[in-house]
Structure 1
Amino acid sequence: MTMARYDQTVQDTAGNVIAGATVEVRSEIPGQPLAALYTDRDGTISAGNPLTTDSNGEFGFYCPGGFYKIVVTSGVLTKTRRYVGIGLAQGTDTGPVGGVQRKVTAAGDVTITNDDADVIVIAKTVGAATAVLLPDPSTATKPFRIVDGKYDAATNNITVTSAGTAKKIMGGAAYIIDSNGASITLTPLADGTGWV
């Protein structure tokens, strides 16, 4: 995976740069764990977290695209920035119009990963019921839209479930797409307990 780059200069209210400030970066997912940061674009050399600003008040790192919470601390000064979008494919509140699509034509079950396309179109070359597994909502950062692209879901249902322990979809164990050409957009709950 190629990492996204983030650079910033820390300044006080008068515009003076702050050298030696502590910078903590956390992922904007339930539990807000410390983010894995790197010094190289390939993500092979860890940068450590927290970071420290240099003599010019600057800091920078590479990380996977997404939303992050960045907290800068120096003496009595604390600056917190929430939902900082980093990278070209950063998280979104709603999928972009015409978002990235993945068309599934192969037989078998479909597993959606956290960094998967925004729209998953089920258009198998042979008619068959399909099981779709969403990622664990406690680690997911964006909604996914599942679409019956073969227009045969009334006969060949698409059953959507979620990874994780006792994770719910729309309050139940599964959501079934059973109308031809139907679709559903499922968004992870902020507390990580399911999808709505």
Structure 2
Amino acid sequence: MVFPRHQFSVLDSAGNVVPAAHVEVRSEVPGQPLAVLYADRGGTTPLGNPFDADAQGFAFFHVIGGAYQIRVYTGLSGAPTFEAPLQRYVAIGLNSESDTIASRTQRVVTAAGAVTVDAADADDIIIKKTVGEATSVTMPSALLTPKKPKKIIDGKGDANTNNIVISVASGDTLMSVLNGSYTIDGNGGMVELTPLPDGSGWY
């Protein structure tokens, strides 16, 4: 998976560069949680949030496509010495605010064995194994996952016989149950799970 890039220069109202300004990026969803940022397109190098612009006021980050609010300031967060106007609903990435199927990514699982879903994984995980067997699926930490729904789908059409059992990271809730699990046991069944705004689990 690759992550789109957003970049800009921090300027004050007079057009002067503001060096080393703090940049805070939040997902434009209820609760406005801090977004998971990366310093590279491949998502191998995590970036702090907030992070600092360079000495020339230049800032960039990579993030999963979506809508974000971007706050830029200097000094303390609660008592900034400078603060640029808050940027709202900044669309980042192709189809970032589209609700069509084209905006979702897919991963088809054909290999035998358990399935682990990563925080930066595809939006749709399609279980379509070449063998007939039950499948255990482990979700990533909700706190570290971009606040976008993930679907687990029976793509083989045999979940009635070969159940797909979904569990969460230790300490997370699933549909309000701590360390809960969910079973897809109908042929062609699916479940869509969304991280809670506070990152405590999935619903």
Contact 2:36 2:145 in 1 (8 A): no
Matching of residue 132 in structure 1 with residue 131 in structure 2: no
Contact 1:21 1:73 in 2 (8 A): no
Give how far 1:43 is off.
7.6
Which residue of the other structure, out of 109, 122, 140, is the alignment partner of 1:117?
A: 122
Task: Tell me the equivalent position of 1:184.
Answer: 191
Contact 2:163 2:184 in 1 (8 A): yes
Could you list the runs of 5+ residues in structure 1 that have no partner in the other structure?
none
Give how far 1:21 is off.
5.6
- Cα distance change of structure 1 residues 41 and 110 upon mapping to structure 2, 3 Å threshold: closer
- Cα distance change of structure 1 residues 96 and 136 upon mapping to structure 2, 3 Å threshold: farther
Tell me how far apart the structure 1 counterparts of residues 111 and 128 of structure 2 sit (CA, whole Å).
Answer: 8
Could you list the runs of 5+ residues in structure 2 that have no partner in the other structure?
75-80
Which residue of the other structure, out of 83, 97, 104, is the alignment partner of 2:101?
A: 97
* Deviations 1:89-125 (CA, angstroms, capped at 9, x unpaired): 86x6x87414221111111000111111111111111
Task: Tell me the equivalent position of 1:5.
Answer: 5
Q: SS where residue 132 of structure 2 aligns? A: coil
Give how far 1:86 is off.
3.6
Give how far 1:2 is off.
6.1
What amino acid sits opposite 1:144 in the alignment? K
Give how far 1:52 is off.
5.3
Contact 1:95 1:118 in 2 (8 A): no
Question: What is the root-mean-square deviation in Å for CA atoms of aligned residues?
Answer: 3.7
- What's the % identity of the aligned pairs? 36
Contact 1:2 1:43 in 2 (8 A): no
Contact 2:24 2:72 in 1 (8 A): no
* Bigger-Rg structure (1/2): 1
Task: Tell me the equivalent position of 2:58.
Answer: 59
What amino acid sits opposite 1:6 in the alignment? H
Q: SS where residue 86 of structure 2 aligns? A: strand
Tell me how far apart the structure 1 counterparts of residues 121 and 138 of structure 2 sit (CA, whole Å).
Answer: 12
Tell me how far apart the structure 2 counterparts of residues 53 and 89 of structure 1 sit (CA, whole Å).
Answer: 33
Aligned length: 186
Task: Tell me the equivalent position of 1:148.
Answer: 154
**TM-score of the pair, normalised by structure 1:** 0.74
**TM-score of the pair, normalised by structure 2:** 0.72
Contact 2:142 2:200 in 1 (8 A): yes
